[in-house]
Structure 1
Amino acid sequence: MGLFRKLFRDQKLDPNSLSQAEALAAIAVAALAADGYLLDEERQSLVSAMAGLQVFKKYSSQQRLKLLEKLFDLLRQKGAHTLVHSAKDALPPKLRETAFAVAINMVMADGTLVESEREFLRQLEEVLEIPDAVASQMVKSMLIKNKG
């Protein structure tokens, strides 16, 4: 069992407490917190990303903002590890790669990728059970996307 899984064991929210959309957003919120800072541009990047995802099409902008506040509160109360593991349990396998892609985009929102963010992505890859080759290609693609 990997270190990240050991850290997450027995540290979950109620498995029914997050919808699929909330779980996807929870992964993104945890990604934003990976470097220990939350810049306005990162928060805005998350709001924009949510608006473009199919799982949030039925959410108004007000509902998305309310959801983010709920998730930031959970992050402060329970920590990123609990939030990520609980989100994983709520995400169907088909949305785990989407969540990983959103997380990559979030950690790169400020234009830098620090070691704590790299480590977060490595751990998230393991928790979400993303195959190494897929994760590597996704990171490479996002690096190219965010250069411009």
Structure 2
Amino acid sequence: MSTISPENALIYIMVTMSAVDRAMSDNELRDIGTIVRTLPAFSDFNEERLIPVAKECAAILQEDGGLDAVFGLVRDALPPHLRETGYALAVEIAAADLSVGAEEIRLMQLLRDTLDIDKLTAAAIERGARARHMPL
């Protein structure tokens, strides 16, 4: 039995991706809010809980072994049909500031393994995000 909801798990993924480079950009934070307000996966989620859930995740990440703990919670909370969604949200947040650094790439690799996302699916998700965030 999971200790967090699937919605919380998706938020944990986005917060972790945003925080991995130690700087949560305004674009990343704005995109997290927009995703929570508009994505069907959050239709039953009370938007006012976004900040408390994000703070819960940040507190866990500060602990020794925090990343492993967050990924364990996420893996246990997400049903198989939402795992690709979780990976897609991580990629969206990584792409939000139009620059994907080494820390974000490494986190995406760890998340792919945690959620058992195959390489072809991951590549398609990543290419879609790149296309959506391409400037004119």
What TM-score results when the alignment is normalised by the length of structure 2? 0.88
Structure 2 Cα separation of the partners of residues 45 and 53 of structure 1: 11
Structure 1 Cα separation of the partners of residues 119 and 110 of structure 2: 12
Letter in 1 for 2:120: A
1:93 is aligned, of 57, 80, 89, to 80
**Mean Cα displacement is larger for which, 73-82 or 106-115?**
73-82
1:66 paired residue number: 52
Q: Number of residue pairs matched?
A: 134
Q: CA deviation at 1:27?
A: 1.2
Letter in 2 for 1:89: D
Q: CA deviation at 1:86?
A: 1.6
Structure 1 Cα separation of the partners of residues 58 and 75 of structure 2: 17
Letter in 1 for 2:59: D
Q: CA deviation at 1:39?
A: 2.0
Cα contact 2:2–2:73 (8 A) shared by 1: no
What TM-score results when the alignment is normalised by the length of structure 1? 0.82
1:134 paired residue number: 121
Could you tell me the percent identity over the aligned residues? 23
Cα contact 1:47–1:65 (8 A) shared by 2: no
1:41 is aligned, of 21, 27, 30, to 27
Q: CA deviation at 1:145?
A: 0.8
Q: CA deviation at 1:63?
A: 2.1
Q: CA deviation at 1:130?
A: 0.5
1:53 is aligned, of 16, 35, 39, to 39
Unaligned runs of 5+ residues in structure 2 are none
Unaligned runs of 5+ residues in structure 1 are 1-14
Superposed CA RMSD in Å reads: 1.6
Cα contact 1:20–1:90 (8 A) shared by 2: yes
Structure 2 Cα separation of the partners of residues 102 and 133 of structure 1: 17
Cα contact 1:28–1:102 (8 A) shared by 2: yes
Q: CA deviation at 1:71?
A: 2.1
